[in-house]
Amino acid sequence: MSQSVTTNTNSELYARCGFYIDGRWIFPDDARCIDVVDPASEEVIGKIPLARKQDLDAAVAAAALAFADWRRSHAWDRAAILKRTAYLLRERAASHAGIFSLEQGKPGTEALREIGMAADHFEWAAEEATRLVGQIVPARPAGTVSVVEHQPVGVVAAFTPWNFPALQIAAKVAYALAAGCTIVLKPSEEAPGIAMLIVQALHDAGLPSGAINLIFGEPAEVSERWLASPEVKAMSFTGSTRVGKLLAPMAAASLKRATLELGGHAPVIVYPDFSPKEAVSLAAAVKFRNAGQACVSPSRFFVHKEILNDFTREMVAFAKSLKLGPGSDETTTMGPLVNRSRVDAAARLVKDALDRGAILECGGGQPADRNKGFFFEPTVLSNVAQDSLIMIEEPFAPIAPIVAFDDDDDVIGMANDVEYGLGGYVLCRDPVLAERAAEGLNVGMVGINNLALAGADTPFGGVKASGLGREGGPGALEEFLQKKMTKRAVTV
């Protein structure tokens, strides 16, 4: 059944709530506040407070106190709360998606899809909680038994980004809670509304006070305070590789667990036996989703020279067919970038590629018909040099660089020639060649003839500078668990 987005969003959302600490919403009058901006219009749509040191400490204290009881709660009881949360998110999806689109910019259909995926994570985590089992190990000497059980690590500090705020919150919070951990959460200040709505759903589902605590604040201040706290036992972060490299030593200093889902620069290898039209229909929709602001977005297109011209023509046609506009407009198929700095970064990447000999097939800058909003045209570049910045840096922009190849071994080398290793894609009808290419890609996830890598039922994560650990899938709770072995003498 299709669902439409409710455009009458709650304008009082930001005034009613700010921090959620120990089961209560707090908007401190004396806290410094920042504006929440609609990226499609550049208008201020609300304000949120920034945490003071006492707020950060209060959140950790509440989580630590709640952990004593939450860790001992029955797995089936935890599962019931998480399933109820999933139900509420789906029930409220239309109204939530409206706020989501307003503050983050993505079209309503994409916002609805993401809320559905977030609900999937809560449901999968609930089921994983009830499937968590220990082991009995044959012991020596005779007359003893060794039992291995899983225990929650403790308070988890979760840091989530603006590009997929609902999905990334769910991918951390759901599994930490399912494992019996409690959480202090700092979501992005650029997409705060959806974070507050997810926490409200957890509250309404019956989550005990203190099990989750939410604040907004200066990123460096929050991370330094929380990662120095002895009460915080683990960190889960999604964001840039640059920031991940800064946070990892901070967590390591006190031997905290660290899950890092960092940047990506996914190659798409298109072989000559694959229809260029079909290749574009698969890849372009994912490339330009969320205006290219996705870590697993296909961002480097290696196309065999036999089909290069046809592929380029189809990609240009797709890019030109996209309708830019605010996410609240039902006819919009691509929204704005999240802020002005992303627009400037995209322009810099295009200029660098052109300076190195690339051909601008379409797009390349801000649309002439929009003098407000952080919009950037869907852009296609051909003849892109391998040393261009667009081929090295994670673009996070609606730019599709196309590179020709004619050697199957060379293309794997080009695809792997970046610091990232999150996702990669192979479009090829020859099963032997497709498997060989997939095996050769040094990434954590590969899609063969499909580009849908993210799902609650599969592990999401990368290698190299794309991070450590996995989110979702079988064993997702392991990031938040530690093993304890008890050896017992058997009495008759």
Asked if residue 277 and residue 253 are part of one domain, the reply reads no
**Residue position matching structure tokens 């410094």:** 32
Cβ neighbours of 410 (radius 10 Å): 11
pLDDT for the residue numbered 78: 98
**pLDDT tens for each residue of 327-336:** 989 999 999 9
Judged on CB neighbours under 10 Å (0-12, 13-18, 19+), 434 is buried
Asked whether 39 and 336 are in contact (CB, 8 A), the reply is yes
Asked if residue 275 and residue 243 are part of one domain, the reply reads no
The boundaries of the domain holding residue 79 are 13-262+467-484
> Which CB contacts under 8 angstroms, 24+ apart, belong to 392-396?
392/265, 392/418, 393/265, 393/349, 394/240, 394/241, 394/263, 394/264, 394/265, 394/295, 394/299, 394/420, 395/265, 395/292, 395/299, 395/346, 395/349, 396/163, 396/292, 396/293, 396/294, 396/297, 396/342, 396/345
Q: Please, which residues bridge with residue 379 across strands?
A: 399
pLDDT for the residue numbered 142: 84
Total-model pTM: 0.94
Q: Is residue 407 part of a domain?
A: yes
Q: Is residue 462 part of a domain?
A: no
Asked whether 155 and 67 are in contact (CB, 8 A), the reply is yes
Q: Is residue 83 part of a domain?
A: yes
Asked if residue 276 and residue 227 are part of one domain, the reply reads no
Is the N-terminal amide bond of 39 cis, ω within 30° of 0?
A: no
Asked if residue 89 and residue 184 are part of one domain, the reply reads yes
Cα dihedral across residues 68, 71, 76, 82: positive or negative: positive
Give the Cα separation of 197 and 194 in Å (integer): 5
Asked if residue 247 and residue 290 are part of one domain, the reply reads no
- Sheet containing 298-304, strands listed edge to edge, beginning at the edge strand earlier in sequence: 359-362, 379-382, 399-405, 298-304, 266-270, 423-427, 445-448
Asked if residue 132 and residue 115 are part of one domain, the reply reads yes
pLDDT for the residue numbered 4: 53
Longest dimension (CA), the chain: 84
Q: Is residue 393 part of a domain?
A: yes
pLDDT for the residue numbered 7: 47
Task: Catalytic residue, from 190, 295, 377, 471: name it.
Answer: 295
Which amino acid is present at 478? E
Name which of 457, 415, 408, 407 is nearest 433 in CA terms.
Answer: 408
pLDDT for the residue numbered 6: 53
In the predicted model, residues of the chain with pLDDT beneath 50 are 1-2, 7-8
Active site residue 261: yes
Task: Catalytic residue, from 103, 110, 128, 261: name it.
Answer: 261
Give the Cα separation of 179 and 25 in Å (integer): 25
Average pLDDT of the chain is 94
Asked if residue 258 and residue 270 are part of one domain, the reply reads no
Q: Is residue 309 part of a domain?
A: yes
Asked if residue 289 and residue 257 are part of one domain, the reply reads no
User: Helix H segments across 288-430?
Assistant: 308-321, 340-355, 408-415
**pLDDT tens for each residue of 221-277:** 999 999 999 999 999 999 999 999 999 999 999 999 999 999 999 999 999 999 999
State the CATH number of the domain containing residue 33: 3.40.605.10
pLDDT for the residue numbered 8: 46
Q: How many domains does the chain have?
A: 2
Asked if residue 435 and residue 311 are part of one domain, the reply reads yes
**pLDDT tens for each residue of 27-64:** 888 889 999 999 999 999 999 999 999 999 999 999 99
Q: Is residue 382 part of a domain?
A: yes
pLDDT for the residue numbered 30: 83
